[in-house]
């Protein structure tokens, strides 16, 4: 949910069934992460939302241009 002047907007980041151990978190601009595919270090360009799957994997979503990517 994104707060707007006249309420909130719902944005679905990911859709899947109930999965224990999966959760959301925010990570601040400037925080360093590791791309598990390339093993490269990545610095968050803005505040981001992470979808984490236990301690094994995750995805990062960045809001820009009015949508998450």
Q: Read off the pLDDT of residues 55-65 as tens digits, 9 standing for 90 and up.
A: 777 888 988 88
| pTM listed for this prediction | 0.72
Checking if the pLDDT of 41 tops 90, the result is yes
Kind of pairing between the strands at 48-53 and 41-43: unpaired
Tell me the average pLDDT across 20-42. 89
User: How far, rounded to the nearest angstrom, does the alpha carbon of residue 57 sit from its chain's CA centroid?
Assistant: 12
Domain boundaries, the chain: 18-68
Q: What is the rounded distance in angstroms from the CA atom of residue 51 to the CA atom of residue 61?
A: 8
- pLDDT band with cut points at 50, 70 and 90 for residue 48: very high
The residue among 30 and 20 whose pLDDT is bigger is: 30
Percent with pLDDT over 70 in the chain:
100
């Amino acid at each position: 949910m994104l707060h707007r002047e006249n309420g909130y907007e719902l944005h679905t980041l990911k859709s899947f069934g109930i999965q224990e151990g999966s959760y959301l978190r925010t990570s601040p601009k400037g925080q360093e992460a590791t791309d598990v595919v390339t093993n490269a270090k990545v610095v968050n360009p803005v505040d981001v939302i992470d979808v984490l799957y236990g301690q094994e994997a995750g995805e990062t979503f960045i809001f820009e241009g009015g949508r998450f990517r």
